[in-house]
């Protein structure tokens, strides 16, 4: 048994200790090392982390599952007759305009919505968002023309905008940096799972008898929207904002868990600070955040394109009348399952080996292989196999890149900004994806697949450049070439340095 701050201390604190000749200031609020609740116990720590896993991760995972289902079910509805029934011209750009309405709102409202998560509290705002997008998904069942479909789709984008970054930020309040990426994987695995689950659910719903005026694709929106609303209500009463407000933790457990997280801070006063614009901006504009954001943009062109257009691609590979609509829905399931398995495997390995860069680059190369197969072969079975590589490579980045940005932030506000900008650029990628798979290029979709091939290569190169810069910057800090940043600063001013603090080490 030993004091938790020494057991939990990161490389940042060890570096500080060696330079100052004393114990690192892990708790700037003066938490006494003699407090019995802070005595380190590995078994106790493992038990408490598993308790958090049980109380937090399943709820946010189901909420995000329904978020992605409600976003991507437009692809399932499309091959069930949605375009025809609302008067859309399948040879025009109507479907792409419909998708653009969603992603334009999604991108525009993502950072404001994530900021509201910090202000209102994630335990309340996340379920409220889920309730709203469930309601709007349900409303899709009652659209009768193209204009109303665009309007509902735009509002759905507003409601869903902050979901991914808000959950990532929420989890960062509970887990240490090296634990975070796997927990992000546990909820982001629901994105490819949503493709599989959505395909299975849609095929099952289409077998149900008509419910009054609600038929075919309308049933998909109605039933999936109702499920989301129910899950959101449950989440509202079960989620809690942070460790300090968790009703299912004792006071000693709260102190122990808070001490774990405080041990990773450098020059910071509070575990959860008040929203600070300067620190939010520092998180948004840091080199690591912007590099992750750029890679996430390229990745989401592939991810969102796959989510919405995979049913259309499968329909081209396995056409009617040989394959029914239900057969086509079911054939979208296996590639999404492959993406889900890869997401968990990469996230687990990243957490196990405490490294993100290697797996980010590896995922980019797997994605590149998939789209190279799409572009290089006209064989239908090769192209269907390519979808497995594409989903396996692209979906892994959903956990890796937000975590990469988050672990390189030094406080709560900066972390919110880092995650927000990463996901914001990802949403821009989703917006671009709306125009990469145009009907006139079916069934080969060469421009979209070619763009994603180039994107995978660029992501891999960007990952190499980022880790090269991070290693160089850490060497500069090791050599004391950033110590001048502390000269003449008060404690409050040092706090505002965030990840620019010379004793903070970038993680890759």
Query: How high is the pLDDT of residue 327?
Result: 81
- pLDDT above 80: residue 336: yes
Q: What mean pLDDT is reported for the chain?
A: 84
Query: How high is the pLDDT of residue 27?
Result: 35
pLDDT above 90 covers a percentage of the chain that reads 44
CB 201 within 8 A of CB 83: no
- pLDDT above 80: residue 312: no
Overall average pLDDT of the 303-311 stretch? 72
pTM: 0.78
- pLDDT above 50: residue 192: yes
Overall average pLDDT of the 147-172 stretch? 92
Q: Highest mean pLDDT: which of 44-58, 420-434, 454-468?
A: 454-468
> What is the distance between the alpha carbons of residues 193 and 68, in angstroms, rounded to a whole number?
9
- Under DSSP, the state recorded for 214 is B
pLDDT tens string 266-298: 766 666 667 678 888 999 999 999 999 999 999
- pLDDT above 90: residue 188: no
pLDDT tens string 23-82: 333 333 334 444 555 667 788 889 999 999 999 999 998 998 888 888 878 877 887 888
pLDDT tens string 103-121: 899 889 988 998 899 889 9
DSSP string, 414-473: HHHHHHHHHHHHHHHHHHHHTTTS-GGGTTT-HHHHHHHHHHHHHHHHHHHHHHHHHHHH
DSSP reduced 3-state for 40: strand
Query: How high is the pLDDT of residue 468?
Result: 97
CB 418 within 8 A of CB 280: no
Dmax (CA) of the chain: 77
CA atoms within 13 A on the CB side of 370: 30
> What is the distance between the alpha carbons of residues 224 and 313, in angstroms, rounded to a whole number?
23
Strands (E), 266-362: none
Query: How high is the pLDDT of residue 307?
Result: 65
- pLDDT above 50: residue 383: yes
Query: How high is the pLDDT of residue 4?
Result: 43
- Under DSSP, the state recorded for 22 is S
3-state helix, strand, coil in the chain (%, to 5): 75, 0, 25
Q: Cis (ω within 30 of 0) for the bond into 89?
A: no
Q: 40-264+275-500: which CATH number, 1.20.1250.20, 3.40.50.720, 3.30.750.24, 3.40.50.1820?
A: 1.20.1250.20
Query: How many Cβ atoms from other residues are within 10 Å of residue 217's Cβ?
Result: 26
DSSP reduced 3-state for 211: strand
Query: How buried is residue 272: exposed, middle or buried, by Cβ count under 10 Å (0-12/13-18/19+)?
Result: middle
């Amino acid at each position: 048994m030993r004091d938790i701050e020494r057991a939990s201390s990161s490389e940042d604190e060890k570096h500080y200790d060696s330079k100052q000749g004393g114990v690192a200031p892990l708790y700037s609020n003066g938490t006494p090392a003699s407090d019995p609740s802070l005595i380190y116990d590995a078994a106790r720590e493992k038990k408490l982390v598993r308790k958090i896993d049980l109380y937090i991760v399943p709820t946010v995972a189901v909420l995000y599952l329904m978020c992605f289902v409600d976003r991507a079910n437009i692809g399932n509805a499309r091959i069930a007759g949605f375009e025809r029934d609302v008067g859309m011209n399948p040879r025009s750009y109507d479907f792409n305009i419909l998708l653009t309405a969603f992603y334009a709102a999604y991108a525009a409202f993502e950072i404001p919505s994530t900021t509201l998560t910090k202000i209102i509290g994630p335990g309340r705002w996340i379920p409220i968002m889920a309730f709203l997008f469930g309601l709007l998904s349900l409303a899709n069942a009652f659209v009768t023309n193209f204009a109303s479909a665009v309007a509902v789709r735009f509002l759905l984008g507003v409601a869903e905008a902050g979901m991914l970054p808000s959950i990532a930020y929420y989890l960062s309040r509970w887990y240490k940096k090296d634990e975070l990426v796997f927990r992000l994987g546990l909820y982001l695995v629901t994105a490819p799972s949503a493709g599989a689950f959505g395909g299975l659910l849609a095929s099952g719903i289409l077998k149900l008898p008509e419910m009054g005026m609600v038929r075919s694709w309308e049933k998909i929106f109605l039933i999936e929207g109702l499920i989301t609303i129910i899950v959101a209500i449950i989440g509202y009463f079960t989620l809690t904002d942070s460790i300090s407000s968790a009703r299912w933790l004792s006071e000693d457990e709260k102190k122990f868990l808070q001490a774990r997280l405080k041990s990773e801070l450098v020059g910071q006063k509070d575990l959860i600070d008040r929203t600070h614009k300067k620190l939010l901006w520092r998180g948004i504009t840091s080199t690591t955040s912007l590099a992750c954001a750029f890679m996430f943009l390229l990745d989401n062109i592939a991810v969102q394109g796959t989510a919405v257009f995979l049913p259309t691609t499968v329909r081209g590979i396995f056409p009617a009348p040989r394959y029914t609509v239900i057969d086509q829905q079911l054939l979208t399931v296996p590639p999404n399952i492959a993406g889900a398995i890869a997401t968990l495997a990469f996230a687990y390995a990243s957490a196990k080996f405490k490294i993100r860069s290697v797996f980010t680059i590896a995922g980019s190369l797997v994605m590149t292989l998939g789209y190279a197969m799409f572009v290089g072969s006209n064989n239908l079975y090769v192209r269907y196999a390519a979808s497995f590589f594409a989903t396996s490579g692209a979906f892994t980045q959903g956990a890796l890149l937000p975590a990469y940005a988050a672990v390189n932030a030094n406080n709560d506000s900066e972390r919110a900004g880092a995650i927000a900008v990463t996901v914001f650029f990802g949403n821009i990628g989703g917006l671009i994806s709306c125009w990469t798979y145009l009907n006139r290029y079916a069934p080969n979709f060469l421009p979209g697949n070619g763009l994603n091939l180039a994107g995978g290569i660029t992501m891999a190169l960007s990952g190499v450049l980022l880790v090269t810069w991070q290693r160089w910057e850490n060497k500069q800090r090791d050599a004391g070439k950033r110590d001048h940043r502390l000269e003449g600063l008060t404690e409050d001013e040092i706090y505002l340095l965030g990840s620019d603090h010379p004793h903070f080490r970038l993680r890759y």
